[in-house]
Copies of this chain bind each other. A is one copy, B any other.
Amino acid sequence: MSRTGKAASLKPRKAATQMRASRTVEAIVEAAARILETVGMEGYTTNAVAARAGVSIGSLYQYFPNKDAITVALIEREAALLLTQVNEAAAEPEWKAALKLMITAAVRHQLSRPVLSRLLDVEEARLPTRDEAAPGSGAIFKVVRAVIARAMPATALPGLSSVVEQLASDVIGITRGMTDMAGRRHEADGLDLALRVENAVCGYLFSALKQMNSHDLHAP
């Protein structure tokens, strides 16, 4: 099993310089994804990944120092994909429209490979939290936070940033929770699901904003 305790680096062991090498690396990462999707963690072994990728176990370890490094690479690949979409959505000036676009992007992404998304989500929590740095879910969280900050009332309350943090966390939680459930139910219609998530998120944000405003009026 894993050499527990040996916190080896999770960065690639050697950078691929030739083209066949990058093809090998990409094949390994995609093989990891397909194994996780079809067999789950149960069959997610380095030997199986190498076999599915059509490369030898030796080649695998030439580019990844250990098994977790493969998982990290896969997580970062998927996060980068989603981050691109989310960033585009955040460019929309109207915060509400931006939020809706972000929701659609998140739903589409998670519903495109639901099993993989769920497993990677779990693994991400388990692995050494190099939260920031590199396009990880930390980056996505920041974008969501920034968009929600735009929805805040003009008057600067004390401790507003932690409220925004919480709202962003809740919005992401709602989205993930609903999409997870839909994935387990084998829902296919991403558009319908996105609308439902929009309803939930907007309903929640409006009631939160209303409460903030009433506090704002009564307290000072």
Q: A163 vs B69: C-alpha distance in the bound complex, in angstroms?
A: 43
Per-residue interface assignment for chain A, residues 189 to 207, with 1 indicating a CB less than 8 Å from any chain B CB and 0 otherwise: 0000000100111111011
- Majority SS of interface residues in chain A? helix
Minimum CB distance partner of A198 in chain B: B207
- With CB as the reference atom, state the residue of chain B lying closest to A119: B122
Cross-chain contact of A177 among B166, B174, B202 (Cβ < 8 A) = B174
Instruction: Tell me if A170 and B200 are in contact (CB < 8 A).
Output: yes
* Alpha-carbon separation in the docked complex, A180 to B178 (Å): 12
> What is the distance, in angstroms, from A200's C-beta to the closest C-beta of chain B?
4
Per the 8 Å Cβ criterion, residues 165-199 of A in contact with B are: 166, 169-170, 172-182, 184-185, 196, 199
Docked complex Cα distance between A2 and B180 (Å): 27
- Oligomer copy total: 2
- Residue of B with least CB distance to A165: B185
Tell me if A43 is interfacial: C-beta within 8 Å of chain B: yes
Select the residue from A178, A182, A200, A206 with max chain B CB neighbours within 10 A: A200
Interface-central residue, A126, A170, A174, A182, by most chain B CB under 10 Å: A174
Closest chain B CB from A123 CB (angstroms): 10
In contact, B40 and A126 (Cβ under 8 angstroms): yes
Q: Lowest 10 A-B CB distances belong to which pairs?
A: A177-B177, A203-B203, A173-B181, A200-B204, A173-B177, A173-B178, A199-B207, A169-B181, A176-B177, A174-B174
